[in-house]
Amino acid sequence: MRILLAASLGITAALTLCMSTGAFAQDSVVVTRTITTTDPGMLFGTITTRREELNKLYADALAQNLLAEAEKNLLRAELDRIAAEEAAAKSLTGVAASSKVVILARDIDTLGDRFNVVLKKPVFVPIVEGSHFTIVEGKVVELDDVAKRRWDLEGKINKFHLENRISASTANNLRSRMDLIATQEAGMRADGNLDLKEGRILYSEFDKIGSDLDSAGK
């Protein structure tokens, strides 16, 4: 059985369930129902599961003595930060929560990439590839343009931090500004989808953060 969820975070979407009963297309039964992805409950399970994977990879790296003291402390601090932000995000609702899930997924993937390097083998498969957010049950959420921009920018913030190009305080300040944009977006989506003007406003705010990040990371 294969389940594919093609959706935009924060937008009503369709869940298509394909149950193959034979080798040919005519042997498949397709059932479609509408769900609302502003409820992030189905996404948080993925965040928790994949974060726990990182904790195991961290333990493996320690057991093999692969981490210098500074990196060991940095990675531990990042894992603790992600866990704390995940716990806090579960009190959010709607677009604000979904937006935070995207940011947490990006943080997890960035650390996963680092563990692939540390352990010298591909031990971590990313949550998001391209614009596809893979849920642990095998479903795939299609990120919309705003979510993808948020994803890319959060990844850059985290990458700069792990490379010691920006301090933890600078990274946290930029993340706080990302959260404010998510709150702003939630208000804009309250009456439906984003219009062109609202989208431009959000992209302008993202661009300001990107510019400040580049300046701080020089």
Say if residues 3 and 19 touch (Cβ distance below 8 Å): no
Question: pTM for the complete prediction?
Answer: 0.74
- Alpha helices (H) in 138-217, listed in sequence order: 145-162, 168-189, 196-216
Cβ count within 10 A of residue 211: 10
* Tens digit of each residue's pLDDT, the chain (218 residues): 333 333 334 433 333 322 222 333 333 332 222 233 435 677 888 899 999 999 999 999 999 999 999 999 999 999 999 999 999 998 888 777 888 888 899 999 999 999 999 999 999 999 988 888 888 766 787 888 888 898 899 999 999 999 999 999 999 999 999 999 989 988 998 887 788 899 999 999 999 999 999 999 98
Residue with tokens 């661009």: 207
pLDDT, tens only, 107-126: 999 999 999 999 999 999 99
Q: Please give the angle made by the CA atoms of 136, 139 and 91, to the nearest 5 degrees.
A: 65
Bridge partners, residue 2, by sequence: 18
Token pair recorded at residue 37: 């992805």
What contacts 24+ positions apart, CB below 8 Å, involve 75-82?
75/111, 75/114, 77/168, 78/107, 78/111, 78/158, 78/161, 78/162, 79/51, 79/54, 79/55, 79/111, 82/51, 82/107, 82/108, 82/111
In degrees and rounded to multiples of 5, residue 63 shows phi and psi of: -60, -30
Q: What is the pLDDT of residue 7?
A: 38
Bridge partners, residue 19, by sequence: 29
